[in-house]
Structure formats: structure tokens, C-alpha cells
């Protein structure tokens, strides 16, 4: 089952990734847009099958964290 709501409502987890922006769109499948420094999307990943641990690990590897 999808665990992303648990991740995006956990302020402590989100605070670790200051460059992360979460946008909720009702009825939309979850995805990640990876952007370069000029805010151009360079990759889009479907994450509907990911669990919270996978999302957090991905962000730890790909985003600057505090």
C-alpha cells in the first residue's frame, strides 16, 4: 500500500530536504520531478509503487540535506 502520505505529512522528514517542494493534486498519481539549478525538469519518476523508506533513501541520495 502507498505510504507517501505518511512521508509528506511528517514535518521532520521534510525538513531534512530544504530543496524539496511537495505539491498535492487530488486524484493524481505521485511522481518526482528532478530539476536542475535553473528549475528545468531533467527527469520525471513515477513513485506510486515506492514506500516511505524508498522515497527517503532516494531523496538522501539525490537532494542536498540538512
Task: State pLDDT tens for residues 3-51.
Answer: 677 888 888 988 999 888 888 888 888 999 999 889 999 999 999 889 8
What's the whole-model pTM score? 0.78
Does domain 4-62 bear CATH number 1.10.10.10?
Answer: no
pLDDT band at 1 (very low <50, low <70, confident <90, very high): very low
Structural domain spans, the chain: 4-62
- In the prediction, which pLDDT does 5 show? 78
**Cell numbers of 60, please?**
538522501
Look at phi and psi of residue 9 and say left if phi exceeds 0, alpha if psi is from -120 to 50, else beta. alpha
- In the prediction, which pLDDT does 57 show? 93
- In the prediction, which pLDDT does 32 show? 94
Amino acid at each position: 500500500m502507498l505510504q507517501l502520505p505518511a512521508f509528506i505529512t511528517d514535518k521532520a522528514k521534510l525538513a531534512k530536504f530544504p530543496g524539496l517542494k511537495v505539491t498535492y493534486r487530488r486524484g493524481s498519481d505521485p511522481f518526482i520531478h528532478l530539476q536542475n539549478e535553473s528549475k528545468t525538469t531533467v527527469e520525471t519518476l513515477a513513485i506510486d509503487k515506492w514506500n516511505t523508506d524508498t522515497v527517503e533513501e532516494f531523496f538522501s541520495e539525490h537532494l542536498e540535506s540538512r
